[in-house]
Amino acid sequence: MIYDEPKFLPGGDRFIEMELGDELNFDLNFLVHSLSAKIREAEIAGLIELLPNMASIVISYDPDLISFADLKSEILSHYRNMGSLEDMELLSPIYYIPVLYCDHVTRACWEDYCAKITEKEYDSDILVQLNDLDGYAQLARIHSGTEYWVAALGFYPGLASLIALDPRCRLTAPKYNPPRTWTAKGTIGYGGSVTCVYPANTPGGYQMIGHTPVPVCDIEQSLPAFKQDLALLRPGDRVRFFPVGREEYDYIESRVTAGDYVHNVAHYAKFSIRAYHEWLGTLDMKERF
């Protein structure tokens, strides 16, 4: 639920956790990012950094310049002046990312986990069973059948948490227990009701359902898409995955290696909350892709 009044919780001497609600809810996340944008614009003296996430914002501040109470009060007044969620719009770029589903890379990673840590069912099988799907083809069709909203960045540089905008495409998946000690960079993960692209070879716990050769984080900022930012995705962006076969996957990988891969991003549509709610109302929730 979205709280009537956001909670301001202290985090030591120089952090505040502002909780706007307690669920994974697109509206709530949109509110989080709209408020973050507004707070940033306000340039409050003493406010150092903002860390927006699913339903909360962690704020770091300099207590020599502003007190907990004053900062809370300023942020609250911005929150109250936000206007209705329905009226909000956001220019939101969309990234088209190719995926080889049920691929050889993540299969090898899963096999390694089974050999070294503990036996477990193949990840895509878990998703198919848990979500009552026909098979891998339907998994790919549903996973790639929706735009995803970048709800948060965090945990690791370049790691974006994505939530499905089309509720008919929301799946559920348990996490690895214990977690993996490594995940191949470019793995498409699914955990809880969130999907992600692993930006580097990191430990992880999401089920692995596919792989993309396209980089989403480039600390050296060498590829053109990373000239402004080392992470491809920002909260408020959208992602659309599209299935490719092995041949196309190999081709794309070769372009990435050659350094001339061109990321596919369209940046000219305004995401409208009102229109989104209206569109949700038109969907037949019983139907599936």
Q: Which CB sits closer to another protein, 133 or 152?
A: 152
Location of structure tokens 């992600």? 196
State the Cα–Cα distance between residues 106 and 97, nearest whole angstrom.
17
Decide if 152 contacts 53 (C-beta within 8 A).
yes
- Give the footprint of another protein on residues 164-193 (CB under 8 A): 165-166, 168, 175, 192-193
- Closest distance to another protein from the beta carbon of 49 (Å): 5
Helix (H, G, I), strand (E, B) or coil at 8: strand
Are 283 and 137 a contacting pair, CB within 8 Å? no
131 touching another protein, by CB under 8 A: no
- Member of 82, 245, 250, 257 binding another protein (CB under 8 A): 245
Strand-by-strand arrangement of the 15-21 sheet: 2-11, 15-21, 56-61, 47-52
Stretch of residues binding another protein (CB under 8 A), selected from 78-86, 111-119, 120-128, 257-265: 257-265
Least Å from the CB of residue 138 to another protein: 9
Confirm or reject binding of residue 147 to another protein (CB under 8 A). yes
Q: Smallest gap, in angstroms, from Cβ of residue 153 to another protein? A: 6
Shorter beta-carbon distance to another protein: residue 108 or 117? 117
Short-list 271, 256, 264, 208, CA closest to 240: 264
Assess 82 for contact with another protein (CB under 8 A): no
Q: Distance between terminal CA atoms of the chain?
A: 29
Q: Is residue 26 a contact residue for another protein (CB under 8 A)? A: no
Q: Return the residues of window 202-231 that contact another protein according to CB under 8 A.
A: 219, 224, 229-231
Q: Does 288 bind another protein (CB under 8 A)?
A: yes
Determine if 284 is a binding residue for another protein (CB under 8 A). yes
Q: Is the peptide bond before 215 cis (omega within 30 degrees of 0)?
A: no
Task: Please pick, from the candidates 4, 5, 13, 132, the single residue that binds another protein as defined by CB under 8 A.
Answer: 13
Sign, CA torsion 213/236/176/192: negative
HSE at residue 180, side-chain half, CA atoms within 13 A, is 28
| Beta strands 264-266; 147-153: pairing state | unpaired
Candidates 75-83, 116-124, 180-188, 272-280; binding stretch for another protein (CB under 8 A): 272-280
Using CB under 8 A as the binding criterion, the count of chain residues that bind another protein stands at: 86
Provide, rounded to whole angstroms, the least separation between the CB of residue 91 and another protein.
6
Query: Cβ 265 to another protein, closest distance in Å?
Result: 9
**Comparison of 4 and 13: residue with beta carbon closer to another protein:** 13
Closest CA to 186 of 218, 234, 150: 218
User: Of 3, 42, 45, 63, which lies in the binding site for another protein, with binding defined by CB under 8 A?
Assistant: 63
The whole-angstrom separation of Cα 135 and Cα 118 is: 25
- The amino acid at 288: R
**How far is residue 258's CA from residue 203's CA, in Å, rounded to a whole number?**
27
Indicate the residue among 83 and 245 with the shorter CB distance to another protein. Answer: 245
Q: By CB under 8 A, is residue 46 in contact with another protein?
A: no
